[in-house]
Amino acid sequence: MIGKAKSPKAAVLIVVVYIVAALSMLAFALTFRSRIAIRQAQLLIENLQQEEIARAACVQACGVLAADDERVDCLDEPWSVWHELVPAEVTDQSIGTEDSPWQVCWKLVDESAKINLNLASADLLSGLECLDEAAVASILDWIDKDDVPNPDGAEDDYYSSLEPPYSCKDGPIDNIEELLLIKGITPQIYYGANLDEAGNHSAEIDTESTEFAEADPQNSPVGLRDLLTVYGDGRININTVSERVLHAIPLLSDAAVAEIISRQRSASRKFGSMDDIQNNGSFTLTDKLLLMQIAKFNSNHFQLYVKVRKRGNPFWCEYVATIERQGENTQLLSWQRKSRPVIKDITHFTSSSEEGSYSKGLM
Ligand SMILES: [Ca+2]
Ligand SMILES: [Ca+2]
């Protein structure tokens, strides 16, 4: 009887416990979803801030280019080194100052240090060690107007058989990334990168780097994107050209390559005119004739690399732009955010993350 008297109370107690537990779980779920929503909004705002900061760095880079002596462009000029801070006067924010939560750096790379893909001969392309004859034949087929494939090349018949199918360009390449559509051009060849097992190009941006200089594009693995360009008049700036590109030039002697690289590293021996080629005792007659056909000493096109991150965050967000310079005038030809937008990686967010911290892979 005593047990029967207590049963209703026990039942009520159990119901109350269930209700309290259910309400607690509901409250926890709502709290967690609210935190996710708040963090999503924060990341969206940070994305917008990063874009604005990177644009401000671009403005500063254009200013440096406009102030540069355009008669000669070489690797020890201000545009060619990393600039870590964007002065506060560039924007109305304290970007890049000690008080700013943001860290910004940028540098420019000379596009005329590369081979113009649309104007290069088959011999010049074949000189690049990362391209075999079949890849060169396919590149030429991609650009030429006809539909007749070169030996080992590829035209519409090949591309229309792919899944999904697409057409051969049969015209000049507008964006260097088009190379990835061409038969035989693998991501490894294009990026020169250490790809992970999933095929992601990890060298796109060195997210593990804590110092921006470690991710210098000139020290990164070299791929076709570092050797070829779609900009310029086809001449190569020998004050900035890399050894890899020089070795691709048919008949250019090793001594000439060594001389050009040596003068790039000398503060007072830059090439400034054709006389510097003609009067150079290290060049053979063939070297001189070759260089007078393809060499120049300055550039009108530059690739801009901008890296932005919040202080304390180990992951950089990278932007790449192409800038054309004509005298004191500069024009932005392209602008691209290279790393994955933060907002798409919200799945990496965990409820245990502290405010302001980032999970690996967020940027
Ligand atoms: Ca210059
Ligand atoms: Ca064709």
Residue 260 Cα, ligand 1 centroid: separation in angstroms? 17
CA dist., res. 298 & res. 313, Å (int): 37
Q: Report helix, strand or coil for 260.
A: helix
Report pLDDT for 173: 96
Cβ-based neighbour number of residue 248 at 10 Å = 23
Ligand nearest to the CA of 64: 1
Report pLDDT for 139: 97
Ligand nearest to the CA of 71: 1
Residue 216 Cα, ligand 1 centroid: separation in angstroms? 20
Residue 142 Cα, ligand 2 centroid: separation in angstroms? 5
Residue 154 Cα, ligand 2 centroid: separation in angstroms? 8
Q: What is the pLDDT along the chain (363 residues), one digit of tens a residue?
A: 444 556 788 888 888 999 999 999 998 888 889 999 998 998 888 889 889 999 999 999 999 999 999 999 999 999 999 988 654 544 555 555 566 788 899 999 999 999 999 999 999 999 998 999 999 999 999 999 999 999 999 999 999 999 999 999 999 999 999 999 999 999 989 988 655 444 454 444 443 343 444 444 445 678 999 999 999 999 999 999 999 999 999 999 999 999 999 999 988 889 999 999 999 999 999 999 999 999 999 999 999 999 998 888 888 889 999 999 998 899 999 999 986 543 333 333 223 333 322 222 222
Residue 244 Cα, ligand 2 centroid: separation in angstroms? 28
Cα 228 to chain centroid distance, Å, stands at 14
Q: How many CA atoms within 13 Å lie on the side-chain side of 362?
A: 24
Report pLDDT for 343: 35
Report pLDDT for 200: 52
Residue 168 Cα, ligand 2 centroid: separation in angstroms? 7
Residue 110 Cα, ligand 1 centroid: separation in angstroms? 10
Q: Which residues lie across from 304 on neighbouring strands?
A: 108, 321
Cβ-based neighbour number of residue 343 at 10 Å = 14
Distances (CA, A) of 313 to 59, 94, 211: 24, 18, 11
Say if CB 132 and CB 182 are below 8 A apart: no
Ligand nearest to the CA of 167: 2
CA dist., res. 207 & res. 185, Å (int): 25
SS (H, E, C) 183-201: CCCCHHHHHCCCECCCCCE
Report pLDDT for 6: 60
